Structure 1
Amino acid sequence: MTGLDWASWVGFVGTACIIGAYGYLTIKDAPNPFVLHGTNLMGAALLTVSLLVHTNWPSLVLEGFWAAIAIFGIAKAVRGTRKTQEREA
């Protein structure tokens, strides 16, 4: 049995981020979108690093979409925060 290299460990941390974000979404009644999407984005980024070393094209494409959705979610949350601040001002 061979040991895991650094890229595999980075991939495992990315996987933990995505699983953690999904668990957070499931457990919380009103999840913070910055925590949720930020954790998903971090997970996608870390998995992408791992996949660039150990190329698996379908998984790499999946992580690209996962990151894009997370970025969209963060942008939507920023817009919502700005609208709330404008109403309060």
Structure 2
Amino acid sequence: MTSINASDVIGIAGALIVVIAYFLNLHGTLCTTSYKYSALNLVGSLMIVYSLIYHPNPASMLIEGFWASISLYGLYKAHQNRRTR
């Protein structure tokens, strides 16, 4: 049986953050254009990447790289929207 270490716990927490952000969006509580939505996705993605450093999986690393990049773009857009208001 495989033991769970700190990197696993961090990765699981990151996955939960991403899923919770998605659920809150579908529930109508969190808008995809909000700063919080992109920030939650970025933090969750980086936590998953941290776990992937210890348990490499190229396909997962690729998707998390895109997820983090898109989240950064979302943060940029949210910042731009705040400036134009």
Q: Same fold (TM over 0.5)?
A: yes
In structure 2, list runs of 5 or more residues that go unmatched: none
Show structure 1 runs of 5+ residues with no match. Answer: 85-89
Aligned to 1:87: none
Aligned-CA RMSD value:
1.3
Q: Share of identical aligned residues, percent?
A: 29
Q: Which structure: larger Rg?
A: 1
- 1:38 is aligned to 39
Residue deviations 1:43-78 (CA, integer Å, cap 9, x gap): 000000000110001000100000000000010010
> Once the 2 structures are TM-superposed, how far is the Cα of residue 28 of structure 1 from its aligned partner?
1.5
The answer for the alignment partner of 2:74 in structure 1 is 73
Alignment match, 1:61? 62
Distance, in Å, in 1 between the alignment partners of 2:12 and 2:67 is: 16
CA separation of 1:25 and 1:60: change in aligned 2, threshold 3 A? same
Question: Which TM-score applies when normalising by structure 1?
Answer: 0.88
Paired residue total: 84
CA 1:64–1:30 in 2, change beyond 3 Å: closer, same or farther?
closer
Report the residue type matching 1:57 in the other structure.
P
Which amino acid is 2:6 matched to? W
Paired with 2:29 and 2:47, the residues of 1 have a C-alpha distance of 27
Distance 1:30 1:36, change over 3 A: closer
SS at match of 2:48: helix
Quick check: 2:21–2:30 contact (8 Å CA) kept in 1?
no
